[in-house]
Amino acid sequence: MSTHKRNHRETRHGMTIVELLVVMGILVVLMGIAATAVKTGTRGKKQREAARQVNSYIASAQARAMQLGRPAGIEIVRNVSDSSGDGIITFADDTGVSNSSLLMYTLETPPPYAGDELNSRLDVSNSSGTVTLSDPNARYASATGLLTANQMVEIRLDYRGPRYTATVSQVSPLQLQFTLPANDQTIFPSHGKVACQIFLPPQRSSATPLQLPSDMCIDLTCSGVGNTGNQFANWNSGVHNSVRFTFSPKGNVDKVSTVNGTWGRPGGNIHLLVGKYDHAVDTIAVMQTENIDETNSMTFPGLNYLDYINPADPKLETNLADGTSMWVSVNHLTGQITTTRNKLITNTFLTGSVFTSASDKNAALLAETRDFARSGLIIKGQGDE
């Protein structure tokens, strides 16, 4: 009788419950890490993309100025509309937020207008330093479609010398008037004729405007010129002029026009805060400016950026207190354009510091939130303004 020994091993198929649990635990940990990474990567993505669009649009206007050899720039349109149709925009009966913008246009400065004929001249008269230019022979007839009465324009006589700021007394026939500066040594005859170049203000070009997504905006309550400036904020409901600035053909910032529509040289770098439109709406409640149309001054006396950082109502949020907001900044000296994060400010930022007024606190807060932007704009010791 023979015996057979079993020389094969019993094989086992499948996994035990313990092994399954270990594998599932590892998968859960990996999925958690991946979800955190994805969430971190997408946080603030819309703000970054909106800021990139603003940066690129400003850069294209700068390039246009260098291409044309004339100033070109940007118009930032306030997000208000005359929904009542009465021709007057007030918070009481119209829609939008004046201190936010979702729309930007490219501006171009037209060539100087020197009349309709090659030898166009204006009659000049000088009475004790008050110079009047008139057009009795209709050599500047096209001015009717270019100028408006009481408009302020820059002019230059005989294609040389300084520019003067003149008032359009009337359009047809054209009449301009200006007063010679006290230190001006130019000798004007009592009567005569003179060629006159009229430098027209920047106008919207045919370039496609930039429309930001409806949930993003440029928050103008915290935007302005200089490290601490908020000149783009508008607390006067009767005035809703666009914010405009132009570049010179050299690429630096040429002029800026803010709330009152007057053009002037910038005293510092331009800073634009890009963030959520809902946060800009919340600002109205944070600043308690629902009835600000009753205030006639250009400066809101109750302005306190500490309320932005720590609103009394925890449901309200502001772009200045949002770390995902972005600053788009332009160096007024070099034309450099940068995009940087908004620096978060803690509630204890002003603790221990001595400030003589609320405006000093506001200035300190704005300067601190723009810290990354200021650092990015400093080149060879210039631009820290």
Question: What pLDDT is stored for residue 206 in this prediction?
Answer: 93
| Three-state secondary structure of 93-127 | CCEEECCEECEEEEEECCCCECCCCCCCCEEEEEE
**Residue 245: burial class (beta carbons within 10 Å; 0-12, 13-18, 19+):** buried
Structure confidence at residue 31 as a pLDDT band (50, 70, 90)? confident
Helix H segments across 287-370? Answer: 306-309, 358-369
Question: What pLDDT is stored for residue 87 in this prediction?
Answer: 54
Sheet with strand 164-170: strands edge to edge: 191-194, 122-127, 130-134, 175-179, 164-170, 152-157, 196-199
Backbone phi, then psi, for 281, in 5-degree steps?
A: -70, -40
The string of pLDDT tens digits covering residues 121-141 is 999 988 888 899 999 989 999
The pLDDT mean for the chain works out to 82
Question: What pLDDT is stored for residue 297 in this prediction?
Answer: 38
Structure confidence at residue 240 as a pLDDT band (50, 70, 90)? confident
Distance, CA of 286 to CA of 299 (rounded, Å): 17
Question: What pLDDT is stored for residue 215 in this prediction?
Answer: 92
Distance, CA of 154 to CA of 156 (rounded, Å): 7
Report whether 222 contacts 319 (CB < 8 A): yes
Question: What pLDDT is stored for residue 294 in this prediction?
Answer: 33
Angle, CA 224 vertex, CA 220 and CA 228 arms, to 5°: 120
Structure confidence at residue 190 as a pLDDT band (50, 70, 90)? low
Q: Tell me the average pLDDT across 30-58.
A: 81
113 pLDDT above the threshold of 90? yes
Which residue would you say has higher pLDDT here, 48 or 191? 48
Structure confidence at residue 251 as a pLDDT band (50, 70, 90)? very high
Q: Tell me the average pLDDT across 170-185.
A: 87
Specify the residue for token string 């040389």: 160
The string of pLDDT tens digits covering residues 338-364 is 999 999 887 666 665 666 677 788 888
The string of pLDDT tens digits covering residues 263-314 is 889 989 999 999 999 998 888 777 764 444 433 334 455 677 877 888 878 8
pLDDT cut 70: percent of the chain above it: 78
Structure confidence at residue 88 as a pLDDT band (50, 70, 90)? low
SS3 at position 175: strand
Question: What pLDDT is stored for residue 141 in this prediction?
Answer: 92
Which residue would you say has higher pLDDT here, 377 or 213? 213
Structure confidence at residue 80 as a pLDDT band (50, 70, 90)? confident
38 pLDDT above the threshold of 50? yes
Distance, CA of 379 to CA of 373 (rounded, Å): 12
Distance, CA of 59 to CA of 210 (rounded, Å): 13
DSSP letters spanning 55-104: HHHHHHHHHHHHHHTS-EEEEEE-EEE-TT-SS---TTT-EEETTEE-EE
Chain centroid, CA 317 distance in Å: 21
Q: Would the CA dihedral through 151, 152, 156, 158 be positive or negative?
A: positive
230 pLDDT above the threshold of 70? yes
Question: What pLDDT is stored for residue 129 in this prediction?
Answer: 81
Q: Would the CA dihedral through 203, 223, 319, 334 be positive or negative?
A: positive
The string of pLDDT tens digits covering residues 138-155 is 999 999 999 999 998 999
Q: Would the CA dihedral through 308, 228, 267, 301 be positive or negative?
A: positive
Which residue would you say has higher pLDDT here, 92 or 355? 355
Question: What pLDDT is stored for residue 122 in this prediction?
Answer: 93
